[in-house]
Amino acid sequence: MGDTQKLRNRWLIAIMGTLLQLCLGTVYAWSYFQKLFVDKYNWDNVTVAWIFCLAIFFLGASAAVGGIILPKVGPRRLAMTGGFCFGLGYLVSAYAISLQNSLTIPLFYIGYGAIGGTGLGLGYVTPVATVAKWFPDKKGLATGMVVMGFGLGALIMSKILAPNILAYTSNDFVMSFVYIGVIFTIIPMLAGSFLVNPPAGYVPQGYNPPAPASGAQAQKVAEKTASQCVLSGQFFMMWAIFFCNITAGIAIIGFQSPMIQDLFKKFQPELTPQTLTSYGATLIAVSAIFNGLGRFFWGSVSDKIGRVMAFRLILGTQIAIFAVLLKVENPWIFGALICYIFLCYGGGFGTMPSFVSDVFGSKLMAVVYGFVLTAWSIAGIAGPQIFAYIKDQYKPDNAMISFYSLSTAAAFLAVGFIVSLIIKKEKAKA
């Protein structure tokens, strides 16, 4: 409780929340490791993809739990616990790789997937919910800024940490994961230590809170419990929209590097494996920038045009982009279109926190948003596993891999777009 007694600099809290998200968001660079593990250890794509899938599954599941316990344990303790688990996941994974026996894959799943994923969820939900309380006047902008850090994490991993640490260790995956694990234990715990709630009754200087809504409907919304919220039709439609947008994007996240390497191999057959890997890492880095900017951009846009309209644009424009991708063979054009997809993918994360706060109220935001993030859990398995299965089944035929993968992603977006057309623009009282 003492955390809330002093009035802190809210922008410092937002910056530290962004730094925490930046570290956690390095999970989005998994496609950098996907092909390396497949090639080095002769594992199939589905086996390796499950490492990433489990991390995202546990992220969403633990975020739901984190949203429930956050009011009880406080943001500082929860964020630091998340940071510790995230780093520990890498260290357990390093031990798993060192074994090279029948326990390697199960321990990898436990380390990076279960332990690291749990750290991701506890760490992710905390700064989003906390910063929203400090910025009632700029909810879309502030939460968009914080989750922008998560989107930019892949840039840090793919272009700075992973290539330099692998080079330093002479491609020793064990020691590389040890170094990464130590880094991602210290920095997230330090950033998490700055996260505190605002004092009771806090109102930013110059901000005039809107007058409480009146009428029976406003009273009904205000009196809802968390369980009533997550069992409502409105919640399920929001969940479905979020799930569809994430499924399409996260499938690309898991395989963007191998996909563009396959295109470059066809476009320029003389390229070496090292050059192809570098091109794949570049796409991860550039798309990560768009993923991060999309969270900030669409979060801010949603403040002006509304959350529902923002999601309609996010989903609808992507359907058109995926249709164009089906015909693209030039890797440079492919990369540019992927960047737009990530702008919209990140936009979903930048818009949803404020959407939840608008509909269910700021008091229940942490709990309800945590449950919304279970959509991330399911999508984190569905998207990458569908792509991995298609890639293994049509391994000799890259054209069929692209057709089935991109068509499936577009189908999910179409479902989400239809739901966005019928969802209500309900407004909460508080």
Q: Give pLDDT tens digits for 313-324.
A: 999 999 999 989
DSSP code at position 213: P
Task: Select from 24, 126, 5, 132 the least CA-distant residue to 69.
Answer: 126
Provide mean pLDDT across the span 417-427.
82
List Cα–Cα distances, 399 to 46, 267, 391, 396, 403, in angstroms.
Answer: 19, 13, 10, 9, 6
Cβ–Cβ under 8 Å, residues 345 and 210: no
Which pLDDT belongs to residue 429?
43
Residue 148, pLDDT > 70, answer yes
Which pLDDT belongs to residue 154?
83
Phi-psi region of 379 (alpha: psi -120 to 50; beta: other; left: phi over 0): alpha
Task: Select from 82, 84, 86, 56 the least CA-distant residue to 67.
Answer: 82
Task: Select from 57, 63, 68 the least CA-distant residue to 82.
Answer: 63
Residue 390, pLDDT > 70, answer yes
CB burial of residue 153 (10 Å; 0-12, 13-18, 19+): buried
Which pLDDT belongs to residue 430?
44
Whether the pTM exceeds 0.85: the reply is: no
Spell out a b/e string for 388-427, using b for 16 or more CB atoms within 10 Å of the CB, else e. bebbeebeeebeebbebbbebbbebbbebbebbeebeeee
Residue 308 or 366, more confident: 308
List Cα–Cα distances, 284 to 71, 135, 380, in angstroms.
Answer: 36, 31, 17
CB burial of residue 169 (10 Å; 0-12, 13-18, 19+): middle
Which pLDDT belongs to residue 201?
80
Which tokens hold the place of 153? 């994490």
Q: Which residue has the tokens 């809290």?
A: 13
The pLDDT tens digits for 152-199 are: 888 899 889 999 999 999 999 999 999 999 999 999 999 999 999 988
The percent of residues above 90 in pLDDT, for the chain, comes to 40
- Indicate the range of 49-58, 74-83, 261-270 predicted with least confidence: 261-270
Which pLDDT belongs to residue 210?
65
List Cα–Cα distances, 136 to 262, 305, 350, 357, in angstroms.
Answer: 46, 17, 15, 10
DSSP code at position 211: P
Residue 402, pLDDT > 80, answer no
Provide mean pLDDT across the span 352-357.
88
Query: What is the spatial distance between Cα 114 and Cα 362, in angstroms, rounded to a whole number?
Result: 30
Query: What is the spatial distance between Cα 362 and Cα 262, in angstroms, rounded to a whole number?
Result: 46
Residue 68, pLDDT > 70, answer yes
Quickly count helices (H) and strands (E) in the chain.
18, 0
Residue 97, pLDDT > 70, answer yes
Query: What is the spatial distance between Cα 147 and Cα 22, in angstroms, rounded to a whole number?
Result: 8
The pLDDT tens digits for 330-340 are: 889 989 999 99
Query: What is the spatial distance between Cα 297 and Cα 340, in angstroms, rounded to a whole number?
Result: 12
Residue 206, pLDDT > 80, answer no
AA letter at 385: Q
AA letter at 73: V
Residue 250, pLDDT > 90, answer no
List Cα–Cα distances, 143 to 11, 23, 230, 330, in angstroms.
Answer: 12, 16, 21, 36
- Indicate the range of 54-63, 364-373, 420-429 predicted with least confidence: 420-429
Provide mean pLDDT across the span 29-55.
87
Query: What is the spatial distance between Cα 46 and Cα 385, in angstroms, rounded to a whole number?
Result: 6
Which tokens hold the place of 212? 């409480």
DSSP code at position 115: I
Task: Select from 196, 142, 141 the least CA-distant residue to 4.
Answer: 196
What pLDDT band is residue 213 in, cutting at 50, 70 and 90?
A: low
What pLDDT band is residue 103 in, cutting at 50, 70 and 90?
A: very high
Residue 1, pLDDT > 50, answer no
Residue 201: Cβ within 10 Å count: 5
Query: What is the spatial distance between Cα 256 and Cα 368, in angstroms, rounded to a whole number?
Result: 31
Which pLDDT belongs to residue 239?
96
Which pLDDT belongs to residue 6?
53
CB burial of residue 26 (10 Å; 0-12, 13-18, 19+): buried
Cα-Cα-Cα-Cα dihedral sign, residues 157, 159, 165, 170: positive
Q: Which residue has the tokens 């332990």?
A: 115
Domains and CATH numbers, the chain: 2-199+217-422 (1.20.1250.20)
N-terminal to C-terminal alpha carbon distance within the chain: 22
Task: Select from 42, 266, 19 the least CA-distant residue to 153.
Answer: 19
